[in-house]
Structure 1
């Protein structure tokens, strides 16, 4: 009868402490004890994409083998599965379980490295193959055209090197932070149309111009069920806290919401929660994985916000999700489209630009880019209906309005 043994888990291990399982691509190694194994790691430990890169080398008297856990020669199963190795201690009869990673060892033959690299580089495109045929079998006219194209290519490469050198000189003189600030300022003044929601050009009703499914997919809308019930249970004190926290548009929609249609109320509550997240994100510079966790934000909504409204930047050895100036414009456009679905294709631009903390001119520019009709009541009615009539509103009416962008052009002086 076999002796009983117990399992001992070694816990979470670092990449450098993981056990190694190797397989040889050419054959099975009979005398594995005679191999000398050496592990090399990437020196850039601050880069999260490179700090786990490893190269394993096995040397024998006749041949050397090389394997790595990155690049084309690595095994994809390391990213899909976790492997563990059990080591039995015969004295204590306890089996220790260690995490492991797999390496595919390929023979490295001296003198054949350049041949292998050349064979990999011979994957030519269709145009390069045609050029090689012209070089051998082409007519004189075709060969002259080929030489002309190659000379132009050399000229463009020289220009690219000159531009790169000039850019490096500007960075050294002016500083990277100052250039990033200028880029952010220029980006904030960029084309608003690039950040609008998808538009349905064949729409026959206002509700189908900016489809609700493009703002919230059915799966994402279903994930907001619990959050919508939380919004439905808000008290007057909670609404006042939201008003003080910069969610005037959400409070306005909740106060004006009808009480008859139960299905419409449920949809409005879910959209109100999602809109509050967009307004909250617009007031942040960076977004972390802990964003809105205290409010019970579903993970699928967090991932949507990360992918749609943030830009990945690399700084101090970490990948940060930044809400740039262009992403704030995108947040304004998507918030406006969502607010139209919530308030019968009408939105209060004054409240929305205050919630997003952007200028009213920028908010109007977004509304004009979306083709909305701008409404501002006469000043004489302000005494009757207080300051609410001073708010500028936008309404989606078919056909959409195409505004003319008036740009001042300076006349060029004629040279005499």
Structure 2
């Protein structure tokens, strides 16, 4: 009988991605259940369907006459095996003799006793009431020295509360006088000075050579640089007519400048060609608000560089159930710093700030702040100097020289005009 059933039985896979086809396997932490039929099982799912991290959360509840059991697939009490393994459950349909295979999840069911609080709540209550319990013991059984210390501490607590009230009143007065928007603007400017350093490339201020301050390998690793071989060869093969067309069509000015002045042959030409392609990706990314996984595929961007750009220069968020990669204001500042460091290696530790800030789409003042935070030396254009077209050359340059320049942020801050 068994042999005949096995021979006529067939398998049917019911899908893996649909939540409706997922089976549930439960195990009880306090032992085995003898009367499974007397348990009433209920499953709850998260109502936040738009959040990709919460829509798969499930809670299984099993109720009996004596106890209730709860298990979930998220949080500290969930089983880690669901993330490491895939479980499948086979259900035999005796009418069709077909084995249906379902994707399954394992839930660890723990008993819930009415009136019992969780360990986290216990720890919190102990932390909050421990001082009060000790104070009560000191009042009842403490020595005179301990009672004087307790009285002094309580007086200090009253003084601290009075101080907090005075500070809150003074802050309210300042807000009424200056206005909330003006204060928020001042706080944002102050924080931007400190946050700017967080978006700079790794810096070795004690380096013996300017090339070692911002290492090239920190901007492009050897593996990433090797992946740019094909894309770099296309950049090196651009003709002067194609470069002129790029300029006329509003292309990246600093890219065209380096392609026009490329070395004729050798490793230096290959390095500039690969760097210009990577720099074009940074400049294109700085102009975006949100990017997808298909970013720069038409330009022939290698997958390793695409992942690097999304991981390093975008902020991950979600909207309508989809994960998005946004280019925030702080990420644009980071793009400006890394682009500037790359231009320094391409231009013998000198870069054109004017062309770069125009290509990035940021203000010249912000570009100068980035250059100063990197310790670069600013070079003002010489008066009366003209370019090849006979026009006044007003391009501002930045160079990296040792030791690095330390700028005073407070003296460099521009004065704000008073409103009348």
Query: TM-score per shorter chain, which class?
Result: 0.7 to 0.9
Residue 258, structure 1, aligned to residue 260, structure 2: no
What's the TM-score once normalised by structure 2's chain length? 0.78
SS state at 1:190 partner: helix
Aligned counterpart for 2:92 among listed residues 68, 88, 92: 88
Q: Which residue of 1 aligns with 2:56?
A: 52
- Is the deviation greater in 345-354 or in 144-153? 144-153
Q: Secondary structure at the match of 2:42?
A: strand
Question: What root-mean-square deviation, in Å, do the aligned CA atoms of Structure 1 and Structure 2 show?
Answer: 3.9
1:127-166 alignment to 2 at 5 Å? 136=137, 139-144=146-151, 146-147=153-154
Query: What is the Cα deviation at residue 255 of structure 1?
Result: 2.4
Conserved? CA contact 1:19–1:99, under 8 Å: yes
Aligned equivalents of 1:269, 1:95: Cα separation in 2: 60
Match of 1:170 in 2: none
Q: Secondary structure at the match of 1:326?
A: helix
Deviations 1:178-236 (A, max 9, x none): x9xx88x9579932444322321211111011122332334443443443344344455
In the alignment, the residues of structure 1 paired with residue 41 and residue 165 of structure 2 have an alpha-carbon distance, to the nearest angstrom, of: 45
> Deviations 1:116-160 (Å, cap 9, x if unpaired)?
5544436759xx978866764671344235435765787899999
Bigger drift between 381-390 and 398-407 goes to 381-390
Deviation string 1:78-113 (CA, Å, 9 cap, x unpaired) is 2333322233334444332222222111112223x2
Q: 1:190 aligns with which of 172, 189, 192?
A: 192
Say whether the 8 Å CA contact 2:384–2:392 is kept in structure 1.
no
Q: d(CA) in 2 for partners of 1:153 and 1:40?
A: 47
Q: 1:393, CA displacement in angstroms?
A: 1.9
**Change in CA separation of 1:129 and 1:231 when aligned onto 2, cut-off 3 Å:** farther
Distance 2:160 2:318 in 1: 33
Structure with larger Rg:
2
Q: Which residue of 2 aligns with 1:114?
A: 117
Instruction: Work out the CA distance in 2 between the residues paired with 1:108 and 1:160.
Output: 47
Q: Residue in 2 aligned with 1:414?
A: none
The residue aligned with 1:413 is: none
**Aligned 8 A contact 1:206 1:398 in 2:** yes
Equivalents in 2 of 1:159, 1:7: separation in Å? 76
* Cα distance between partner residues in 1 of 2:9 and 2:62: 33
- Per the alignment, residue 26 of structure 2 pairs with 22
8 Å CA contact retained: 1:87, 1:96: yes
Q: Structure 1 regions of 5+ residues with no counterpart?
A: 163-173, 411-416
Gaps of 5+ in 2: 170-179
Q: How many angstroms apart in 2 are the aligned matches of 1:213 and 1:279?
A: 20
Deviations 1:259-279 (A, max 9, x none): 3332x3333333222211110
- 2:412 maps to what in 1? 406
